[in-house]
Amino acid sequence: MIKWLWRFYAQNTSLWVRVVKAIHGEDGKVGRNISSRSYSCWLNIVKDVSVLQAKRVNVMNYVRLKLGNGESTSFWEDNWINGGVLKDVFPRLYALEMCKKV
């Protein structure tokens, strides 16, 4: 399960990720409560994440991206450091940033 979450964030230009985002939105519904009537392989992974979070196991702590050439990782919008997404950790600095898509 964690490997699929990592792939979702690391391989954001791959076809399967684009399909998931087209169906479920940019965040893939990760971290959101999903109705029990919805069924798909991806939503089962998302539901498992929610179940673990309810038991105080934050799966997202184990999903980290590494910055490389910047083609697949967003400096501001991806969770690549401990502490969260930079635009959320430093909202005032993000507001001042002229080039947010780096």
- Tens-place pLDDT, residues 16-56: 888 888 888 887 877 777 766 767 888 888 888 888 888 88
- Report the sign of the C-alpha dihedral through residues 69, 30, 95, 83, in that order: negative
Query: How far is it, in rounded angstroms, from Cα 34 to Cα 46?
Result: 8
Note whether 72 and 10 are within 8 A (CB): yes
Given this model, what pLDDT does residue 68 score?
66
Q: Which residue ranges make up each domain of the chain?
A: 1-63, 64-102
pTM for the full predicted model: 0.53
